[in-house]
Structure 1
Amino acid sequence: MRTETLEILNAERAARRATILVTDLADGTQRLVREAEIGADPLAEVLGKHLASGKSGLVEIGGRQTFLTVQVPPVRLVVVGAVHISQAMAPMVAGLDLALTVIDPRTAFASPERFPGVELVAEWPDAALGSRVPPLDRYCALAALTHDPKIDDPALKAALAAECFYVGALGSRKTHAARTARLAEAGFSPEQINRIRAPIGLAIGAVSPAEIALAVLAEIVAALRRVPRPEVA
């Protein structure tokens, strides 16, 4: 690998941006494709599939064996609300290789006893996301679960502004309609607001905290793998 290529790879990794290194196995030539460049690349379709899966692999392109080395930033999940759904979600997240952070200013909820081994930030989201928690980005998912606009809204605003790949919020359609009005008043466009998954989670008929947690995580995985969202029943 050329020094220049390695330097770019390291810079993109440090900036939490994805890349794919395309290596022709016959002659060893390499080229680096940044995530933002994939759409205009001649191999856009195959590169897009590998980026969505996050997996490196061998492919045949034009009769030539080519290896695609996929570098994707570690995915982070920020949950706003140390509630029962979050408690049920924590052990499931561990098996999905997601880095979980739970934010809730209510210290009675955000306690190590309720969330053993989980990164807890007992601060208001606007303060936490501006200091204690690393900045949100396109490889972050955010789930707002408190039902309290004073807590959820600042987090949703930060997630939309950062273009997180997934933004979800708990609440009924009536609750979300009020939320939509507040966000519009705050200057967010309809396109931005429509990115919020509400009601949150895949429509699996979930009723218990564990089932809702499962539905939310399934929706996050679908968004990460770029599977189109089915219509909500």
Structure 2
Amino acid sequence: MIRTDLLELVSNLRAKGEPFALATVVRTVAATAAKAGAKAIIRDDGVISAGWIGGGCARGAVLRAARDAIKDGEPRLISVQPKDLLDQLGVAAGEAREGIEFAKNMCPSRGTMDIFVEPVLPHPQIVILGSSPVGVALADLAQRFGFFVIVCAPASDHADYGEVDVLADGFEPPGQYGGAGFIVVATQGKGDSAALKAALKASSAYVAFVGSRKKAEALRQELAQIGFDAERLKAFKAPAGLDIGAITPDEIAFSILAEIIEARRRGHRSELQVAVKE
């Protein structure tokens, strides 16, 4: 059972959209400081924020596994054993076999601990600027795929949307935006320039513009004239979405979400990425 203080911290970290890992001791053999069921919360900087999983015998291996798990989103099972047991198994410290990563216990206890390390990652964020039919369709579709949807549009246009996670007045991403999401400018003629300026100023994994290449090029030239960096202006994708011959707003929204999923899952960042820091 997770202690109340750990549950509260888990809830707070998830509410903030902060990634972390939950480490749980699942098995111990012989003398070990921690026993099965012991838990700890480890943040992405490798610091244990709460809980306890034993002393230095296992700590280093678990912290490394936690950082790796948060980075790639994959859980780990760590087995910390004394050298003679590792030798009997024919494995070396740092080696992985059949889904188990082995580490050496250097402590006098010479016990064995198996620790399951599970990453807890925030929902990916999609920020939709504008209230066009494509933006409305994308918001609805993205929620069904587990995205945290933030809509930035003039308050007078908020009624166009159904229920989303965050509705912000204007085009600037609000405080709930974590800075590594996917931004789609879906103004389609209603504030294109202002929305694109806001999108390019924000840090993100992907920025795309719903509109033709001709319109996008005109906007690039307009923003270049007022001092926007050329590399930033090259980075946004237009037209948004995969080329699937989409025509209707729903089809275009589907093509955009498919492109975002591809960028997220395959790590395609060369053409799509724009990470702008003030």
| Alpha-carbon separation, structure 1, partners of 2:116 and 2:44 | 16
Distance 1:8-1:223 versus aligned 2 partners, 3 A rule? farther
Distance 1:31-1:116 versus aligned 2 partners, 3 A rule? closer
For residue 96 of structure 1, the aligned residue among 134, 142, 145 is 145
| Alpha-carbon separation, structure 2, partners of 1:156 and 1:195 | 12
Q: Is the 8 A contact 1:222 1:229 kept in 2?
A: no
Give, in angstroms, the shift of residue 45 of structure 1: 6.6
Give, in angstroms, the shift of residue 83 of structure 1: 1.6
Q: Is the 8 A contact 1:20 1:35 kept in 2?
A: no
Distance 1:48-1:6 versus aligned 2 partners, 3 A rule? same
Give, in angstroms, the shift of residue 100 of structure 1: 2.6
| Alpha-carbon separation, structure 1, partners of 2:76 and 2:268 | 24
- Post-superposition Cα deviations, 1:41-84, rounded to whole Å, max 9, x if no partner, equal 9667765332xxxx646442137955232122233322122222
| Alpha-carbon separation, structure 2, partners of 1:208 and 1:8 | 44
Q: How many residues align?
A: 216
| Alpha-carbon separation, structure 2, partners of 1:226 and 1:6 | 33
**Structure with larger Rg:** 2
For residue 167 of structure 1, the aligned residue among 188, 204, 207 is 207
| Alpha-carbon separation, structure 2, partners of 1:138 and 1:122 | 15
1:20 lines up with 2:66 in the alignment: no
For residue 48 of structure 1, the aligned residue among 57, 71, 78 is 71
Runs of 5+ consecutive residues of structure 2 not aligned to the other structure: 29-33, 48-62, 78-98, 104-112, 273-278
Match of 1:144 in 2: 185
For residue 124 of structure 1, the aligned residue among 143, 148, 170 is 170
| Alpha-carbon separation, structure 1, partners of 2:269 and 2:178 | 21
Distance 1:67-1:123 versus aligned 2 partners, 3 A rule? same
| Alpha-carbon separation, structure 2, partners of 1:221 and 1:14 | 23
Match of 2:261 in 1: 221
Distance 1:21-1:74 versus aligned 2 partners, 3 A rule? same
Letter in 1 for 2:71: G
Measured on the aligned residues, the alpha-carbon RMSD in Å equals 4.2
Give, in angstroms, the shift of residue 118 of structure 1: 4.1
| Alpha-carbon separation, structure 1, partners of 2:164 and 2:9 | 33
- Post-superposition Cα deviations, 1:192-213, rounded to whole Å, max 9, x if no partner, equal 3344222211222212211100
Tell me the percent identity.
28
TM-score by length of 2: 0.58
Letter in 1 for 2:146: D
| Alpha-carbon separation, structure 2, partners of 1:42 and 1:70 | 12
- Post-superposition Cα deviations, 1:187-231, rounded to whole Å, max 9, x if no partner, equal 444443344222211222212211100011112222333432798
Runs of 5+ consecutive residues of structure 1 not aligned to the other structure: none
| Alpha-carbon separation, structure 2, partners of 1:12 and 1:120 | 18
Distance 1:227-1:34 versus aligned 2 partners, 3 A rule? same
